[in-house]
Amino acid sequence: EDVCQIGTHGFAIDEQLNLNFVRDLARKHGVGFGGNLKLTLALSLGLISSREDAIVSLAAGGQHGYTFAPGGDMPYDVPVEHMDQAIEVRDWYEQFYAKYPESW
């Protein structure tokens, strides 16, 4: 809540924060927010699906004020195929995911 009140236009979060909670706070204060792709589990190690992680983040972030991004600095050795999977989901999301009117 404090971050939203300091006069920023937006902020980024890491993978440990609940994106639904952050989204609701950001919208309450009219600021943008970004991040939350699981850098370690999905993108770096592939222990969870990069596709599933990406769709969860996109669906939670919504259409307004959200920047789809990793939840931290990406190391140089992130497998390209994991990033490709996240990008494929982003493209699919843009084309096919239902767009509900959002108020904020």
Q: Check: CB of residue 70 under 8 Å from CB of residue 39.
A: yes
For the entire predicted model, the pTM comes to 0.87
Task: Give me the tens of pLDDT residue by residue for the chain, a chain 104 residues long.
Answer: 999 999 999 999 988 899 999 999 999 999 999 998 999 899 999 999 999 999 999 999 988 899 999 878 888 899 999 999 999 999 999 999 887 776 55
Q: Check: CB of residue 31 under 8 Å from CB of residue 40.
A: no
What confidence score (pLDDT) does residue 33 get? 96
Q: Other C-beta atoms within 10 Å of 32: how many?
A: 15
Q: Check: CB of residue 12 under 8 Å from CB of residue 36.
A: no
What confidence score (pLDDT) does residue 75 get? 86
What confidence score (pLDDT) does residue 82 get? 94
